[in-house]
């Protein structure tokens, strides 16, 4: 089974054991960490294909751990487990580069289906052969490296930022349909995925900000977005 190395960071010993045993029976190679510090140590010492993070943990919470992981790896899929459904937590999770979240209590079947769906989307995005280098205004964007260069500044993009910018660059000064982008990158156009897209568009706007406003991501009301490059 490919892409089966799974890191689970969960401080509840009963849930941690249930998750580890379940995924082991499903053919995954599972590493269990008991808190945020333990999770980062195990992440640093091995390579994983997927990470499941509890949010509320001792020593280091899931948000702090995700931020550290993203500073080293912008591509590995991350799914949060949370007992809270507050909108602020969901937005914060997506801001940190989460691919999905699941609210406790949850069914194991739903969890594994979400993981497989994320891995399928990531695979379909990364194997698709496309133009790698895009030059516009004062930027160079290297799609395959998740890298945006602004003058002499190097900006490492998350997977979602990377794929959104790719769609915009393939359609410079043309409209990009919001629903189409959601379906291609997130796999569906649900409310929370739409909110996630808004977060990543806002982050891209910050990356692309220039004093002369030659580069802008415009919102096209009722349709989507446009990467506007002025002459």
Long-range contacts of 112-119 (CB under 8 A, 24+ apart): 112/22, 112/23, 112/26, 114/79, 115/50, 115/52, 115/77, 115/79, 117/187, 118/50, 118/77, 118/79, 119/3, 119/49, 119/50, 119/77
pLDDT in tens, 125-184: 443 344 678 999 889 999 889 999 988 899 999 989 999 999 999 899 999 999 888 888
Q: What pLDDT score was predicted for residue 83?
A: 76
Q: What are phi and psi of 192, to 5 degrees?
A: -70, -35
Mean pLDDT of 7-18: 94
Q: What pLDDT score was predicted for residue 189?
A: 81
Q: What pLDDT score was predicted for residue 85?
A: 66
Q: Flag the least confident range among 10-24, 84-98, 158-172, 196-210.
A: 84-98
User: Nearest Cα to 50, choosing from 103, 106, 123, 136?
Assistant: 123
Q: What pLDDT score was predicted for residue 7?
A: 96
User: Nearest Cα to 93, choosing from 202, 195, 206?
Assistant: 195
Axis-axis angle for helices 191-207, 159-169 (nearest 10):
70
- Residue 154, judged by CB atoms within 10 A of its CB (0-12, 13-18, 19+), counts as exposed
For the chain, give the percent of residues with pLDDT over 70.
93
pLDDT in tens, 167-192: 999 899 999 999 888 888 887 788 88
What average pLDDT does the structure give for the chain?
Answer: 86
Are domains 5-126 and 133-229 of this chain identical in fold?
no
* E strand spans, the chain: 5-9, 29-33, 50-54, 78-82, 100-103, 133-136, 139-142, 147-150, 153-156, 175-177, 215-220, 224-229
Mean pLDDT of 201-213: 88
- Domains of the chain: which residue ranges? 5-126, 133-229
Looking at domain 5-126, its CATH superfamily turns out to be Response regulator (3.40.50.2300)
Measured in Å, how far apart are the chain's first and last C-alpha atoms? 50
Please state which CATH class domain 133-229 belongs to.
mainly alpha
């Amino acid at each position: 089974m490919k892409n089966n190395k799974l890191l689970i960071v969960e401080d509840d010993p009963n849930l941690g054991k249930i998750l580890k045993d379940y995924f082991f029976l499903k053919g995954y190679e599972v590493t269990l960490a008991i808190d945020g510090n333990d999770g980062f140590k195990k992440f640093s010492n091995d390579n994983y294909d997927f990470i499941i993070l509890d949010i509320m943990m001792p020593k280091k919470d899931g948000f702090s751990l995700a931020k550290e992981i993203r500073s080293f790896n912008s591509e590995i899929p991350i799914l949060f487990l949370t007992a809270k459904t507050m909108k602020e937590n969901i937005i914060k999770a997506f801001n940190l580069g989460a691919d999905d979240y699941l609210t406790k209590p949850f069914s194991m079947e739903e969890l594994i289906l979400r993981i497989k769906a994320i891995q399928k989307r990531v695979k379909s995005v990364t194997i698709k052969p496309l133009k790698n280098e895009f030059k516009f205004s004062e930027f160079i964007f290297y799609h395959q490296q998740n890298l945006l260069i602004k003058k002499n500044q190097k900006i490492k993009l998350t997977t979602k930022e990377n794929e959104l910018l790719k769609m915009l660059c393939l359609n410079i000064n043309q409209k990009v349909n919001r629903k189409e982008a959601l379906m291609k990158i997130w796999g569906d156009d649900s409310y929370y995925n739409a909110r996630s897209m808004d977060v990543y568009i806002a982050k891209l706007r910050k990356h692309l900000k220039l004093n002369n406003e030659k580069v802008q991501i415009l919102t096209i009301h009722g349709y989507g977005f446009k990467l506007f490059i002025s002459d």
